[in-house]
């Protein structure tokens, strides 16, 4: 497998639970500086944390809970949830299935999902995505978060996903 450690996949979902597609990301297209920052966060804080990015980005936070190559993440701006994520490296199928179920169940309980859903089973397509390593993402379009902060969060998410999925082991 020539791509191992060099690529990962991102599956964005809308807040109503619709899959927008699955995109392949090449790690070499990420900023080495920001990939290194995200690797350092993982090395320093391990598999469970909520941290501020500090300094000029201290209003941005990352939360991660993970085990055995599968995890749940949340990205915040000024304490407001901007993005929800789930990560799957393809290490343990049983763990991944449990984390997928937790992610889907938690997404379905969110008010905006309940209000916007077009089917009784939003986010169900997560279970049919077989590509690994995989990052699933839901961007919440929170009106309390600026476009500039959303741009920063998106970049941070991509680099964090690259670091978690291809560089880090928990």
Per-residue pLDDT band at 67 (split at 50, 70, 90): very high
Print the domain residue range for 22: 7-166
Number of domains in the chain: 1
Structure tokens at 57: 């980005």
Give per-residue pLDDT as tens, 102-156: 999 999 999 889 888 888 899 999 999 999 999 999 999 899 999 999 999 999 9
pTM metric for this prediction:
0.93
Per-residue pLDDT band at 167 (split at 50, 70, 90): confident
* The pLDDT of residue 58 is above 60: yes
Q: What's the gap between Cα 104 and its chain centre?
A: 13
* Domain assignment of residue 2, yes or no: no
The helix (run of H) or strand (run of E) holding residue 34 is helix 32-45
Please say whether the beta carbons of 71 and 99 come within 8 A.
yes
């Amino acid at each position: 497998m020539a791509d191992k450690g060099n690529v990962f996949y991102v599956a964005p979902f809308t807040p109503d639970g619709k899959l927008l597609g699955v995109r392949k990301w090449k790690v070499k297209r990420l900023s080495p500086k920001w990939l290194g920052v995200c690797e350092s966060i993982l090395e320093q804080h391990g598999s469970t944390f909520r941290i501020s990015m500090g300094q000029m980005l201290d209003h941005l936070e990352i939360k991660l809970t993970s085990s055995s190559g599968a995890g749940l993440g949340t990205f915040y701006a000024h304490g407001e949830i901007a993005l929800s994520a789930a990560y799957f490296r393809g290490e343990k199928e049983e763990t991944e299935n449990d984390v997928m179920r937790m992610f889907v169940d938690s997404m379905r309980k969110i008010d905006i999902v309940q209000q916007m859903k077009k089917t009784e089973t939003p986010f169900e397509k997560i279970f049919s995505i077989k590509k690994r390593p995989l990052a699933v993402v839901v961007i919440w379009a929170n009106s309390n978060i600026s476009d500039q902060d959303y741009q920063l969060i998106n970049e941070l998410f991509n680099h964090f996903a690259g670091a978690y999925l291809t560089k880090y082991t928990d």
